[in-house]
Amino acid sequence: MENEEGLCLGIESTAHTWSVGIVDFSGEVYGLVNNTYIPEEGGLHPALVREHHLSNFKDTVLKALQEAKCSLKDISLIAFSQSPGLGPILRIGSLVARLLSQLRGIPIVGVNHCVAHIEIGRLMCNIEDPLTLYVSGGNTIISAYESARYQIFGETLDISIGNMIDMVARDAGLAHPGGPKIEKLAEKSNNYISLPYIVKGMDLTFSGLYTAARKLIESDEYGINYVLEDVAHSLQETSFSMLTEITERALAHTKKTEVLLTGGVAANKRLQEMIKSICEDHGARYEVVPLKLAGDNGAMIAWTGILRFKSEGGFDLSQTNINPKERMDNISIPWRK
Amino acid sequence: MENNTIIEGDIIHRGAEASLIHGFWFGKEVIFKKRYPKKYRIEPIDKKIRVSRTLNEARALIKVKNYGLNVPQVFEIDVNTSTIIMKYIEGEKLKDSISVFDNQKKYEIFNEIGRFIAILHQNGHIHGDITTSNILITPNEDIFLIDFGLHEYSDSIEDKSVDLHLFKRVLISSHGSDFNICFKAFIEGYLSSYELNCSNEGKYIVRNINSIESRGRYVKQVERK
């Protein structure tokens, strides 16, 4: 193929991270620049995130090209995050990708964000067929490859783990992103306060846990009988035990021999420790995606774009509409057999 | 002499939550289901989960057995080691044996499972983890439901729908090619049992599955109804 040797420019724009990654067809990352929106207060307001991305997209693309020491002329493929995510934000990614593609006559492919997380993990950790625990601010999914799809074995029935921790952090007066702060606080406590532990088969829910944690913070006893450190500790222990339990159950059910941990929450040391422990118990290989590529990033979009392009070619412009609600298990994975 | 002994043999299955050990209990062939402590959990959570699930499972098995449903008979419980001693059931997991059956047989089996689950639900029992790994087919082709660790008592339509929804998900993810025939047979069996008792509830429960799915993440608007 003419495009065999070339570079793919991947645009990630599903939530608060606007990221551009430049990857070659063998999987080497040449450039990766993230530009993350950090709210002054509260959570992520889609309209504000959109403004942020719109006013920063050009600089980020140029910086990534600079880092990769190339120009737009060297780019032979454009990939963008097509699904799932926040509509207004996805739209900007697809807009910029279509613009570049049209202006330069470069082929374009759309990529599912969740599939991209798994694919970059497989590439970076050199892992063939993992059971993936993907935990982030938007998703909590346990997935493995089965009958031509990344099947979802377990997932959250309501909010995601990252979202839940961030909301508790916000209620406790910590600024966004709350996850790393909760992790720090949790290390300082050993005092466990009982919280609801809800596992439904291989699925779980976090909304009840969130409400219980919020009630602890709002209670009159807060600051007297227990402190924020204790709440953070209890919250992490409960929610991560739930995650680890369903991962173990999925591992026993699917009989996979490799486990991949990815997503923004994968950076949490306590969660890593727990997942590692069950892998040792089941004799499975454990890998965690390096932090820079575990969170949302453009390199994973670029790499998954390359995989799709190699097996199916570029998309028509009519196929490049965004799809904010697409489920990962709806997408065929032609590059794996 | 032999009849008075409790013999623990080999581990025959290591599941996610518990290990199954084959053995003999006063001459009867039994399974020791042991929930070992998990290293990854802190002690208060670990203890709470192991004790509550052991008691929960044993109580549920005893109750469900009374409806004449095929579940293992409980002989003895030890809370300290979170062990349940129950009757050994010879059989194969449905997950592993599903592929050997032809379509007619699949239909019959899943129809039967549907009626099985409907009887549980009509009596206010939620299994909580219906998967093809938790259903055994004996050489006589009897169907046994095992692993009641996540069992709950509930009469709400919502809880029953969640139970079915989880099973549906397992069928899609693990048996995609058989999903259509199996799930159809399952739902037909499920509804037929409710109809036998002149109850409309079955229909509401099945309809509510869609509503649960629509609350999940990333469901298209068209499906949201």
Closest by CA to B20, choosing from A220, A205, A50, A252, is A252
Could you write out the DSSP letters of every residue in B116-129? Answer: HHHHHHHTTEE-S-
Domain residues of chain B, as ranges? 2-87, 92-223
The answer to whether A325 contacts B218, with C-beta atoms less than 8 Å apart, is yes
- Average pLDDT value for residue range A117-146: 94
User: What value does the mean pLDDT of chain B take?
Assistant: 89
Q: How far is CA B95 from CA A255, B137, B202, in A?
A: 12, 10, 26
The topology under which CATH files domain B2-87 is: Phosphorylase Kinase; domain 1 (3.30.200)
Q: Is the bond preceding A84 in cis, omega lying within 30 degrees of 0? A: yes
**Are A229 and A137 part of one and the same domain?**
yes
In a domain, A87, yes or no: yes
| Cα B19 to Cα B93: distance, rounded to the nearest angstrom | 16
Domain that holds residue A98: 2-118+296-330
In terms of Cα–Cα distance, which of B70, B85, B80 is closest to B29?
B85
Q: Which token pair is B64?
A: 């469900």
What's the rounded Cα separation, in Å, for the pair A76 and A251?
39
Q: A179 and A313, same structural domain?
A: no
Asked if B40 lies within 8 A of A201 by C-beta distance, the reply is no
Do A75 and A216 belong to one domain? Answer: no
pLDDT for position A276: 96
Provide, as residue numbers in chain A, all residues whose Cβ is less than 8 Å from the Cβ of B49: 197
| Architecture of the domain whose range is B92-223 | Orthogonal Bundle (1.10)
Q: Which of A112, A79, A72, A89 is nearest to A35 (CA)?
A: A89
Contact A195, A168 (CB under 8 A): no
- With respect to residue A145, please indicate whether it lies within any of the assigned structural domains: yes
ipTM of the complex: 0.82
Q: Which residues of A touch B41 (CB under 8 A)?
A: 237, 241, 244, 274
Residue A29 C-alpha from the chain's centroid: 18
Confidence at residue B217, expressed as pLDDT on a 0 to 100 scale: 63
Q: Check if B2-87 and B92-223 are the same fold.
A: no
What is the amino acid identity at position A230?
D
Residues A280, A315 share a domain: no
Could you give the C-alpha distances from A45 to A64, A162, B103, B108, in angstroms and in order?
26, 16, 51, 52
Question: Does the residue A142 lie in any domain?
Answer: yes
Is A253 in contact with B172 (Cβ distance < 8 A)?
no
Mean pLDDT of A43-69: 92
What is the reported pLDDT for A329? 86
Write out the DSSP string of A37-91. Answer: ---SSSS--HHHHHHHHHHHHHHHHHHHHHHTT--GGGEEEEEEEEESS-HHHHH
Residues 151-180 on B with a CB inside 8 Å of A are: 162, 166, 169-170, 172-174, 176-177
- For residue B216, pLDDT beyond 80: no
pLDDT score at A205: 92
> In this predicted model, what pLDDT tens digit does every residue of B154-169 receive, in sequence order?
999 999 999 999 899 8
- What are the beta bridge partners of residue A331? none
Do A191 and A224 fall into the same domain? Answer: yes
Instruction: Note whether residue A335 is domain-resident.
Output: no
B44 touches chain A (CB under 8 A): yes
CA distance, residue A240 to nearest chain B CA (Å): 9
Report whether pLDDT(B224) > 50: no
Do A89 and A178 share a domain, yes or no? no
- Is residue A100 domain-shared with residue A148, that is, in the same domain? no
Cα of A76 to nearest chain B Cα, Å:
31
The pLDDT tens digits for A264-316 are 999 999 999 999 999 999 999 999 999 889 999 999 999 999 999 999 999 99
pLDDT in tens, B37-70: 999 999 999 999 999 999 999 999 999 999 989 9
Task: List residues bridging with B14 in a β-sheet.
Answer: B19
Are residue A221 and residue A260 in the same domain, yes or no? yes
Residues A322 and A271 grouped into a single domain: no
B172-188 pLDDT per residue, tens: 888 888 899 999 999 99
| Residues of B with a known catalytic role | 129
Check B217 against A147: CB less than 8 A apart: no
What is the CB-side half-sphere exposure of residue A264 using CA atoms within 13 A?
21
Run of H or E residues at A307: helix A298-312
H or E element, residue A133: strand A131-135
Q: Are both A182 and A279 inside the same structural domain?
A: yes
Cβ–Cβ under 8 Å, residues B154 and B124: yes
Domains: count for chain A = 2
Domain annotation covers residue A124: no
Confidence of residue A207 (pLDDT cuts 50, 70, 90): very high
Long-range contacts of B193-201 (CB under 8 A, 24+ apart): B193/B114, B193/B115, B193/B118, B193/B119, B193/B122, B194/B118, B194/B122, B197/B122, B199/B122, B201/B122, B201/B157
Q: How confident is the model at residue A215 (pLDDT cuts 50, 70, 90)?
A: very high
DSSP state of A264: G
What's the token pair of residue B182?
């199996």
Distance CA(A255)–CA(A283), nearest Å, equals: 11
Question: Residue B219 — very low, low, confident or very high, per pLDDT cuts 50/70/90?
Answer: low
Same domain, A284 and A301: no
Judged by DSSP in three states, B30 sits in strand
CB-nearest to A237 from B14, B45, B172 is B45
Please indicate, yes or no, whether residues A110 and A30 belong to a single structural domain of this protein.
yes
Q: Does a structural domain hold residue A218?
A: yes
Phi-psi region of A145 (alpha: psi -120 to 50; beta: other; left: phi over 0): beta
Give the Cα separation of B219 and A324 in Å (integer). Answer: 9
Q: What is the pLDDT of residue B2?
A: 58
Instruction: Specify the CATH number for the domain of residue A307.
Output: 3.30.420.40
Instruction: Look at residue A336 and tell me if it is in a domain.
Output: no
Flag whether A44 is in a domain: yes
Query: Judging by DSSP bridges, how do beta strands A203-204 and A199-200 pair with one another?
Result: antiparallel
